[in-house]
Amino acid sequence: MKKADRIYKLHNLLQNRRFITRKELQSTLEVARATLTRDIEFLRSQMNAPVVYDPDLGGYFLDKKSAINGMHELPGLWFNETEINALLAIEGLLESIQPGLLGPHIAPLKKRLEQLLSKGKHAPNEIRKRILLLPSNPRKLTLEHFEECASATLSRQRLRLSHYDRHLDTTVDRDVSPQRLVRYKENWYLDTWCHLRNAIRTFSVDAIRGATTLDQSAVDVADEELDAVLGAGYGIYAGREVQWATLRFSPWQARWTSQETWHVDQRSHWEPDGSYILEIPYSGDGELVMDILKYGPEVEVLEPPALRQMIINRLEVAAEAYRAGKAVESK
């Protein structure tokens, strides 16, 4: 019997009996005395189970008073009230990140946790009221597609995706080997090995219109390879060919931007007038351009010239739209 199975069986025996002797435990579990001693110590130290030995009777029992005085049992685990409060807080935070994502799967556990804490110091509703994580402009995704992507990623199976390409305004089909799901700026992305392009590609999960797990094992891409391609430059859509952008933020904006991390390899320094110079690596310029534009006159692109001209062009188009009193579609 594997240790995990043995521990679980030992816990059930103690849970369902008021008292059980050491000899009976050894016989039922088919283990030596030393092994039983180690397993009981594991229950105590790693699972916080209140296992008590009675020397007069020569056996063990679970101390139910510990449960009453703050220890609570979950399937195979014991938690105190503080730990359960933390679990509920985490559940609330995750649910705020992506409403509806976890609810269907953890509803039974959530209900039991709330019952256990109904007479505690901090009620579940109070936790949700006092600990908030407010999402900012997350795009809606289809839960079934997310689950299919997550399942295939964890089980290491290939996926057939139907993905809406917003740039081309068309839907494309791709067979991919999912590598990892990434939460980035309030939205979910799937890093994959694309079997059509024979290259690493990232797909926005909210743009997936269909996802089917295939009966084929996924191709594994080394973490170092993924990081080299996707982590080299700024943004979620990166690549190997990296350039460096030099941005100058006004003294006013620098109060905030100087505390931000745009990329792990960024470089920065202060100018005598209080301006803040930020240098960041990037490959694709789409996301970087959008992030620069939101700062308006509080930032100036110094390098490279192509990126600087791109920002100038976009600002001129925006100014024209305002003068004309209508939106101008960007190209």
Residue 165 lies in a domain: yes
Q: What is the CATH number of the domain that holds 172?
A: 2.30.30
Residue 138 lies in a domain: no
Name the phi and psi angles at 212, rounded to 5.
Answer: -130, 130
255 shares a domain with 185: no
Asked whether 284 and 239 are in contact (CB, 8 A), the reply is yes
**Nearest in space to 170 (alpha carbons), one of 178, 179, 162:** 162
Residue where a domain terminates, one of 190, 224, 258: 224
91 shares a domain with 160: no
Place of tokens 């993924």: 226
87 shares a domain with 24: no
Confidence tier at 164 by pLDDT (50, 70, 90): very high
Q: What is the CATH number of the domain that holds 55?
A: 1.10.10.10
318 shares a domain with 247: yes
Residue 274 lies in a domain: yes
- Distance between CA 301 and CA 282 in Å, rounded? 13
Query: Does 78 have pLDDT greater than 80?
Result: no
Contacts 24+ apart (CB under 8 A), 40-43: 40/10, 42/7, 43/7, 43/10, 43/11, 43/14
Would you call 232 helix, strand, or coil by DSSP?
coil
59 shares a domain with 85: no
| Per-residue tokens: 87 | 């679990």
Residue 235 lies in a domain: no
Confidence tier at 284 by pLDDT (50, 70, 90): confident
pTM for the structure as a whole: 0.68
DSSP string, 97-134: HSTTSSHHHHHHHHHHHHHHTTTSSS-HHHHHHHS---
Residue 330 lies in a domain: no
- Distance between CA 8 and CA 87 in Å, rounded? 22
Q: What percent of the chain has pLDDT over 70?
A: 79
Provide the number of structural domains found in the chain.
4
Residue 36 lies in a domain: yes
Least confident of 96-100, 127-131, 134-138, 222-226: 96-100
- Distance between CA 246 and CA 278 in Å, rounded? 6
Query: Does 143 have pLDDT greater than 90?
Result: no
Query: Does 103 have pLDDT greater than 70?
Result: no
Place of tokens 């005085």: 69
Residue 331 lies in a domain: no
